[in-house]
A and B are shown apart, each in its own frame.
Chain A
Amino acid sequence: MTLQKRIMQKQILQNTALWAIVLVLIGYVFCRPVYGEGEAVELPALAQQLAGVKLKELPNLVGQLEVAGKTAVVPLFEALLNGDLYYRKVDRLVVIARLSPAGDYQLRDALLVTPLGRAEKKALKKIRISNRVRSGLRDAIARLTLFSDDPTLRRPAVANLFNRLDDDSVALLQSAAARETDTDILATIERALALHTLLVSPDIPAQLQALDKLDGSLEPVVRNRLAALLESTENTGATRDPAVIRKAAAVLHSIHADIEFYEFLETLFFGLSLGSVLLLVATGLAITFGVMGVINMAHGELIMLGAYTTYVVQLLMPDHIGYSLLVAVPAAFLVSAATGIVIERSVIRFLHGRPLETLLATFGISLLLQQTVRSVFSPLNRQVESPSWLSGSLELNAVFSLTYNRLYILVFALLVFVALLLVLKRTSLGLQVRAVAQNREMAKAMGIRTDWVDALTFGLGSGIAGIAGVALSQLTNVGPNLGQAYIIDSFMVVVFGGVGNLWGTLVGSFSLGIVNKFLEPATGAVLANILVLVFIILFIQKRPRGLFPQRGRAGQS
């Protein structure tokens, strides 16, 4: 959320309407008593003008509303911003409407927020807005909520004003500083005021003091203004005290050093995140390929089935998108596992000990599955919604934030991995799977039903592919080609890590992810990809059995 402010900071409000707001606002701050109660009468009438307003006139109207309604229009503004503001077609009454679980809309008065009953979608018309209106609304809400009692509202308001940092916002911030109780917000306000002092104050000690306060502040506006200040003195030889210049340069330098550190962390996170995706898609393959020796070219399509299962689950429970993923994970596991078992029983069991031929048969199966999905769901991508807890990002500071979906997927991938390890190491099924993988004949002699174990192993690997599909549905398209994009990557990870070794898959996926992400800024995405592939090819020449080769008899064949 900091970014929008960062960018707005220099946005010049050439639009006369917005200038008008600002001017009136200054009046509002300093001469509050001038405006009487009379406005309240005018306000509903003004709000009523929103019905059917032209996009071009909307910024002007928003300005008038802000002046007339002050904090009373905040809910209305927010509704407008979120696309919840409608008007009734019958009487053109402007209302806030939200979709109710019953499928119709619950109406509330736009200003008083009192319930007004329900209406069908057909009876309502949405009040559409554009980007220009949106940014105007954001600014207006910031000004109006600066003095709110809720610190969570004040914080973005302060950040918004900090970003613009013109005379009016400074005036507002000064009055806000006087009554601010939250130390965090107060510190931000002080930094904003310090930056303002540095830029406009003629007093050199005050400037130096301001620079002290700015040291280590990560807001982009600070570094942009400092850089601009240094540049202007260099280019135009503007009259600035050399001590101030030196100090400003030092402060900017230390800020850049901090940012570099955070950028390193960010890249590391990107790498881990890419690695976690690779881990998810490769784990299933590590089982079917690594343990059973089946080159499953349909692995990608099993992932795709998982993603489509997520889609179907969301169709079935449209009102509980938040929980849909929790349902989708076991559902996708079951669907893909069942498909996997069918594939194993009907095709792969006839191809035992002929790994290269499983490749051909499963390639045919992948074509079949793809075309089936295309026929059933159409070749178009399907829309899988992201629940709100997976949207947005965890902001650690102004330059470093972690997106929630990536973060959860990282955790999820590790959980799946641990669960799989437990299954293989701690259950009797796992014991049998390992036994069959090590020596099929001996396992058979010990009374293990190898057929049954094969089917279950393949089902397990396929099921994990399905789970990966659920995760991928949150990152990328859900379409018939979803699987193909990941099949080669997953083979690379498994071979690089060492076939038959789950730890190899873990280390392999994370190291490939991180290497890729550290290469990317320097080489671009395509070249990074190529370099990683060439690296793997050369690495395999050096260590033909991957990072963690399987030892013993099983590793030989």
Chain B
Amino acid sequence: MKPNNWAIKPKKLATKLNKLASKMAVALSSCLLSVVVCAADTIKVGVLHSLSGTMAISETTLKDTVLMMVEAQNKKGGLLGKKLEAVVVDPASNWPLFAEKTRELLTKHQVDVIFGCWTSVSRKSVLPVVEELNGLLFYPVQYEGEESSKNVFYTGAAPNQQAIPAVDYLKQELEVERWVLAGTDYVYPRTTNKILEAYLKASGVSEKDIMINYTPFGHSDWQSIVAEIKKFGGAGKKTAVVSTINGDANVPFYKELGNQGIAAEDIPVVAFSVGEEELSGIDTKPLVGHLAAWNYFQSVESAANADFIKQWKAYIKDDKRVTNDPMEATYIGFNLWAAAVEKAGTTAVDTVAKAMIGMTAPNLTGTTAVMNRNHHLSKPVLIGEIQDDGQFEVVWETEWVVPGDAWSDYLPGSRDIVADWVAPIKCGNFNTKTAKCSGQNY
């Protein structure tokens, strides 16, 4: 450094320093202001879906859906006169990381709402954090129920919005008398099958007409199990498989079914986790006629759905991409939240959560979804048959929307429990017998 740069007269130096200081002060304050303005200027939307690891296959789509909704909302002028800003993090299919990222979203980024999670375990991991920091989580996937949190809105199907209507359909329309309940060994299939078993037995199906089978995650060798199903189905009564088999294990399962010559007319398989996106990775010719129960199918003809599909394909820039039920659940959840924020006039969690109850939003199948007092949605239930183009043809649907039941009526432990987030109960697990609301600290 050259010394003569500093050869300035002391007076000049003082004025210079003064100027510099005032400039800095202005800059600093404007900087601070801009931070404050920035913070106040946007509404932050946290996106908590795995972008790597085993769940990336399903969750990436939902991340894109949320981003698309945010973009569309911003085009409409945002919310409360502010722009929305999406904060995307990657919990990497790692459950403790889900909790950590939730804490990061809520404390570091101070997001106003989180859309996220797919698996039950990720939700369970996130739950204590969301409750502790009083965040707001929208969970868009069908799940086993047995939960209702103050801070979570469940926009996917509860078991009574998927499993029970599907079984009713099989019984009434296809005269099924013998049941195979096949699932991956985790909590959603276990609970669903427990509920179905109780439901079937209550309707007079005998023990020996029910076969229950569990397989590990990503099971790929289905030879023995399919052979067993074939044998079970060969006993002379109409048999159906109710499948809660999870994601990746489905492809080899259906392939084996097809190859062992089990057609949908013989033993129909009704699945709760197989949607358009899963089918887009399978050669569907051998699967034609097998069933799935959802609250949404891409093939449903309605103006809203046509718009949504168009919007999605344009956003993702791929004409071959499909839409599916969890995407619709995200769509409904986002719109409900946006409407609740507009109604509440703020993004404060408690006010928005209060405004959410009773809020309605059009769903993509032409009816209206309602957010109930138990934080679950009322939605129609549809049953579709797989077609050879990877789409579903709706063969049956409920006449009315079905309200999601947080606590199953068919499990002895939860029969007496209701969730109601409106005063005077204001509780997610109110026991109607003991009139108690256990374990809540709010």
Contacts and interface: CB of A to CB of B under 8 A. Distances in A.
A403 interface: yes
B265 A406 contact: no
A75 B227 CA distance: 32
B266 A481 contact: no
The winner among A228, A401, A477, A529 for most chain B CB atoms within 10 A is A477
A517 B223 contact: yes
A9 B236 contact: yes
A384 B388 CA distance: 14
The winner among A228, A381, A485 for most chain B CB atoms within 10 A is A381
A395 B56 CA distance: 40
Interface stretch (A65-73, A127-135, A140-148, A416-424): A127-135
Interface string A469-505: 0000011111111000100000000000000000000
Contacts of B214: 524-526
B259 A521 contact: no
Contact of A525 (B175, B225, B236): B225
The winner among B277, B281, B393 for most chain A CB atoms within 10 A is B281
B239 A7 contact: yes
B260 A485 contact: no
B107 interface: no
Contacts of A220: 234-236
A480 to B, nearest CB: 7
Interface in B163-217: 173-175, 185, 213-216
A529 B218 CA distance: 13
Interface stretch (A10-18, A170-178, A296-304, A426-434): A10-18
Given A270-B223, A479-B248, A131 B289 contact: yes
Interface in B46-68: 51-52, 54, 56-57, 60-61
Nearest to B258: A391
Interface string A222-234: 0011001000000
B281 A270 contact: no
B339 interface: no
Interface in A220-267: 220-221, 224-225, 228, 266-267
Given A131-B174, A476-B220, A525-B216, A7 B233 contact: yes
A476 B230 contact: no
Nearest to B390: A383
Nearest to A274: B221
B91 interface: no
Contacts of B286: 391
B51 to A, nearest CB: 8
B233 A3 contact: yes
Nearest to B393: A128
A477 B224 contact: no
A79 B218 CA distance: 36
A477 B60 contact: no
Given A3-B261, A12-B175, A380-B277, A475 B252 contact: yes
B336 interface: no
A395 B215 CA distance: 27
Nearest to B226: A403
Contact of B251 (A11, A135, A267, A381): A381
A41 to B, nearest CB: 33
B182 to A, nearest CB: 11
A4 B234 CA distance: 9
The winner among A130, A386, A393 for most chain B CB atoms within 10 A is A130
A48 interface: no
A4 B61 CA distance: 37
Given A131-B174, A381-B251, A475 B224 contact: no
A260 B233 CA distance: 17
B57 A4 contact: no
Contacts of B385: 130-131
B281 A393 contact: no
Contacts of A128: 387, 393
Interface size range of chain B in the complex:
35 or more
A257 B426 CA distance: 63
B237 interface: yes
B7 interface: no
B255 A386 contact: yes
Contacts of B185: 526
Contacts of B57: 379-381, 479-481
Given A10-B237, A393-B260, A476-B251, A379 B56 contact: yes
Nearest to B225: A525
A10 B268 CA distance: 16
Interface string A136-164: 00100000000000000000000000000
Contacts of A524: 213-214
Nearest to B54: A481
Contacts of A266: 227
A326 interface: no
Contacts of B216: 525-526, 529
The winner among A4, A266, A380, A478 for most chain B CB atoms within 10 A is A380
Given A371-B52, A401-B260, A7 B267 contact: yes
A411 interface: no
Nearest to A379: B56
A10 B238 contact: yes
A11 B177 CA distance: 10
A10 B178 CA distance: 12
A277 interface: yes
B328 interface: no
Given A8-B266, A477-B248, A274 B283 contact: no
B175 A277 contact: no
Nearest to B282: A383
Contacts of B123: none
B230 A132 contact: no
A526 B189 CA distance: 15
A365 B265 CA distance: 47
The winner among A221, A382, A403 for most chain B CB atoms within 10 A is A403
Interface in A347-378: 371, 374, 378
A14 B173 CA distance: 11
Nearest to A381: B281
Nearest to B220: A476
Contacts of B258: 391
B280 interface: yes
Nearest to B277: A380
B427 interface: no
A4 B54 contact: no
B395 A520 contact: no
A386 B385 CA distance: 21
Nearest to B262: A3
Given A4-B266, A132-B173, A224-B235, A520 B252 contact: no
Interface in A541-557: none
B377 interface: no
B327 interface: no
B355 interface: no
Contacts of A379: 51, 56-57, 60
B315 to A, nearest CB: 14
A128 B391 CA distance: 12
Nearest to A219: B234
B144 interface: no
Contact of B261 (A371, A380, A393): A393
A9 B238 CA distance: 9
A6 B265 CA distance: 12
Contacts of B282: 381, 383
A291 to B, nearest CB: 28
B288 interface: yes
14 contacts: A6-B266, A14-B175, A220-B235, A220-B236, A380-B60, A381-B282, A395-B261, A401-B261, A404-B259, A479-B281, A525-B214, A525-B216, A526-B214, A526-B215
The 3 closest A-B pairs by CB, nearest first: A381-B281, A4-B266, A224-B236
Given A131-B289, A134-B265, 18 more contacts: A3-B234, A3-B267, A4-B261, A10-B237, A134-B263, A270-B224, A277-B221, A379-B51, A381-B281, A385-B283, A393-B260, A401-B261, A406-B259, A476-B248, A476-B252, A479-B248, A479-B281, A524-B213
